[in-house]
Amino acid sequence: MAKNRNYSYKDVDMLTASGIVAGNFKLNIGELSTVRSDWTEAYADDLVVRINQTIETHLGIDTKKDLRDASSNVSSRQVAAKRDLSFFKTQIDDDFKAQPTTRDEILNTLGFSKYLRDVQKGKQESLVQLLYTFKKNMTDSLRTQITDKGLSAALIDKITGYAETFKDANTTQEGLKQTTKEISKEVMDVFNAIYDEVIGICKKVSNYYQYDAVKKEQFTFSKVIANLGSARKATTETKTVSATQA
């Protein structure tokens, strides 16, 4: 990136992440407006509009709208997948607490033992690997063993479904990102201003939500940027394993 930029990310990534943060800011403005007088609904709306207009003006309308939608899908699906995986593990821990060996075997078979810690650290590649391991190793017999304890079969179906939909969302996102072009120097000031404004919001709001891990992550710019990643390595490795076993 050019030295005059205040950020080290690609322009499309910075603006896309800024748009996601602005959307999250707007969704939480009812609460956030109580802690700062300048954080109003009008300001939140204006921020979203300004970022969208900047993207449309300098990066193209249709492609970038599709990119924002795809990136938003990746982000929202990641949050949902992490939530459901956590809820699944909590139930396994409790349902099989009297059978620790069986409990550990289930969690190991489904990928929790290997990948969960990195998933909790926000590593998207590990989330993809966990989802694919879960889907691959959820046999009919294991499913029955788990659901007989009372865990919902619908939750299992949701988690196995994430593997494919998450991969599709990432593929769409990356395909669109590869069509982007570097912007000219005359719009650097506009991009820098947006970045500085959003970073300022992130610093304040992530601190405000420091005891709410999910919301804090939505306002941690580096994590929002990380969530835009394709997890290409993880999905490629999964395809290679599948092809070998076919």
In a domain, 142, yes or no: yes
What's the confidence (pLDDT) of residue 209? Answer: 94
Q: Which tokens in the block code for residue 108?
A: 């190991």
In a domain, 4, yes or no: no
Give alpha helix (H) positions in 138-187.
140-147, 153-177
Q: What's the mean pLDDT in 188-208?
A: 95
What's the confidence (pLDDT) of residue 184? Answer: 62
In a domain, 151, yes or no: yes
In a domain, 26, yes or no: yes
What's the confidence (pLDDT) of residue 34? Answer: 95
Residue 138 pLDDT more than 90?
yes
Q: What's the mean pLDDT in 30-46?
A: 95
Residue 33 pLDDT more than 90?
yes
In a domain, 3, yes or no: no
Residue 226 pLDDT more than 90?
no
Confidence of residue 166 (pLDDT cuts 50, 70, 90): low
Cβ-in-10-Å burial (0-12, 13-18, 19+) of 106 comes to buried
Instruction: Fill in the amino acid letter for 212.
Output: D
Instruction: Report the mean per-residue pLDDT for the chain.
Output: 80
Query: For the chain, what is the domain count?
Result: 1
In a domain, 1, yes or no: no
- Percentage, residues of the chain above pLDDT 70: 75
Domain region containing 43: 11-245
Residue 205 pLDDT more than 60?
yes
* CB-based contact 127:119 (threshold 8 Å): yes
Confidence of residue 236 (pLDDT cuts 50, 70, 90): very low
Least confident stretch, 7-16, 54-63, 151-160, 207-216: 54-63
Between CA 12 and CA 216, with CA 75 as vertex, the angle to 5 degrees is 100
Q: Which tokens in the block code for residue 18?
A: 């800024």
In a domain, 5, yes or no: no
Q: Which tokens in the block code for residue 29?
A: 């403005």
Q: Which tokens in the block code for residue 233?
A: 């390595």
In a domain, 94, yes or no: yes
Here the contacts of 134-138 (C-beta below 8 Å, separation 24 or greater) are: 134/85, 134/110, 134/159, 134/160, 134/163, 135/159, 135/160, 135/163, 135/164, 137/109, 137/110, 137/111, 138/110
**CA–CA separation, 138 and 144 (whole Å):** 10
What's the confidence (pLDDT) of residue 228? Answer: 75
